[in-house]
Amino acid sequence: MLEVKDLHVTVEGKEILKGLSLTINPGEVHAIMGPNGAGKSTLSAVIAGKDGYEVTSGTITFEGKDVLEMDIEERACAGLLLGFQYPVEIPGVKNIYLLKAALNAQRAARGEDEMPAPEFMKLVREKIKFMKMDSSFLQRAVNEGFSGGEKKRNEILQMLLLQPKLAMLDEIDSGLDIDAMKVVADGVNSLRDANRAILMVTHYQRLLDHIVPDVVHVLVDGRIVKTGGKDLALELESRGYEWVLEESAA
Ligand code: ADP
Ligand code: MG
Ligand code: MG
């Protein structure tokens, strides 16, 4: 589904990704772990097509298409979506309008008509209930005054509506209490499907107790230095990252 090959990325003249390769198949959940500043957020941002990143060499293909030739909207419409891809706060724009606009942009790109308002409202109500969110969220300006946990729930709500083929989630566990993390994890788990893949960036193993990954990668200094199964996350939690570095240098 997604193939990243020998990717080199520079931000403001500094090389951040230094030859990163990654293959994700449909149905798989991949976790990217690694120390601060390793390049984890850079990776998901580059795949999504955010501005400010220069790909100096390497390739990214998604369902056989050259992702680097597509702009951020085209990528989103093709099913490549990063949580919080949309601005963190949009003063004055009601959440419901953003959700509706995003859904209809996706439908338009597929040559489909807008979703009729009653159908949209029914769908949104179902999803916000699932995310244990209050319907008043829909009438508030996007993320304005939302707590950290509310923002994360809203991010997953957007994913549940847009149903991306590859959902990328960057540190959805940061700032969440246990109950909120369970709701967020339930939302992500409900996205799991044989035709969909999920790429999760996380610092901490605890999220992976709730969203059990198929594959765990360790990203250090711009490269994936180790790949394993879910047990690798447990090992990292108890041993840190140093040993992986030593092992990969040997
Ligand atoms: P991680 O998510 O693994 O903590 P990031 O991908 O956010 O790491 O950052 C990797 C490195 O790139 C860091 O050294 C960070 O300072 C740098 N970096 C990321 N984004 C920018 C930017 N917009 N401008 C300058 N440096 C950046
Ligand atoms: Mg990083
Ligand atoms: Mg990050």
Its ipTM equals: 0.91
Q: Is the CB of 51 under 6 A from ligand 1?
A: no
**Of 32, 36, 42, best ligand 1 pocket probe by most atoms within 8 Å of the beta carbon:** 42
Instruction: Pick left, alpha or beta for residue 143 (phi over 0 → left; psi -120 to 50 → alpha; otherwise beta).
Output: left
Q: In this predicted model, which residue has the larger pLDDT, 80 or 204?
A: 80
Check residue 87 and give its pLDDT: 46
Q: Is the CB of 11 under 6 A from ligand 1?
A: yes
Which of the ligands is closest to the CA of residue 170?
3
pLDDT category of residue 92 using cuts at 50, 70 and 90: confident
Q: In this predicted model, which residue has the larger pLDDT, 145 or 133?
A: 133
Ligand 1 closest atom vs CA 42:
6
Check residue 40 and give its pLDDT: 94
pLDDT category of residue 106 using cuts at 50, 70 and 90: confident
Ligand 2 centroid from CA 36, angstroms = 6
Q: Is the CB of 12 under 6 A from ligand 1?
A: yes
Length of the chain in terms of residues written: 250
Q: Is the CB of 38 under 6 A from ligand 1?
A: yes
pLDDT digits (tens, 9 = 90+) for 183-227: 999 999 999 999 999 999 988 888 899 999 999 999 999 999 999
Q: Under CATH, which number does the domain 2-249 receive? A: 3.40.50.300
Q: Is the CB of 83 under 6 A from ligand 1?
A: no
What residues pair up with 61 in beta bridges, in sequence order? 3, 66
pLDDT at 139 over 80: yes
* Amino acid in position 127: K
pLDDT at 86 over 70: no
Check residue 124 and give its pLDDT: 95
* Amino acid in position 65: K
Ligand 1 closest atom vs CA 36:
4
Query: Domains of the chain: which residue ranges?
Result: 2-249
Backbone torsions φ then ψ of 141, nearest 5 degrees: -65, 145
The environment of the single-atom ion ligand 3, i.e. residues with CB closer than 5 A, is 40-41
Check residue 89 and give its pLDDT: 59
Q: In this predicted model, which residue has the larger pLDDT, 140 or 142?
A: 140
- Give the residue-averaged pLDDT of 166-182: 88
The pTM of this model reads 0.91
pLDDT category of residue 88 using cuts at 50, 70 and 90: low
* Amino acid in position 18: K
pLDDT at 144 over 70: yes
166-170 and 2-11 beta bridge pairing? unpaired
**What is the SS3 assignment for the chain?**
CEEEEEEEEEECCEEEEEEEEEEECCCCEEEEECCCCCCHHHHHHHHHCCCCCEEEEEEEEECCEEHHHCCHHHHHHHCEEECCCCCCCEEEEEHHHHHHHHHHHHHHHCCCCCCCHHHHHHHHHHHHHHCCCCHHHHHCEECCCCCHHHHHHHHHHHHHHHCCCEEEEECCCCCCCHHHHHHHHHHHHHHCCCCCEEEEECCCCHHHHHCCCCEEEEEECCEEEEEECHHHHHHHHHHCCHHHHHHHHC
Ligand 3 centroid from CA 44, angstroms = 9
Burial grade of 140 (CB within 10 A; 0-12, 13-18, 19 or more): middle
Q: Is the CB of 238 under 6 A from ligand 1?
A: no
Check residue 85 and give its pLDDT: 53
Residue 14: Cβ within 10 Å count: 7
- Give the residue-averaged pLDDT of 129-154: 86
Check residue 90 and give its pLDDT: 65
**Of 41, 174, 241, best ligand 1 pocket probe by most atoms within 8 Å of the beta carbon:** 41
Q: Is the CB of 36 under 6 A from ligand 1?
A: yes
Check residue 193 and give its pLDDT: 94
Which of the ligands is closest to the CA of residue 84?
3
Question: Is there a contact between 95 and 154 (Cβ–Cβ < 8 Å)?
Answer: yes
Check residue 131 and give its pLDDT: 92
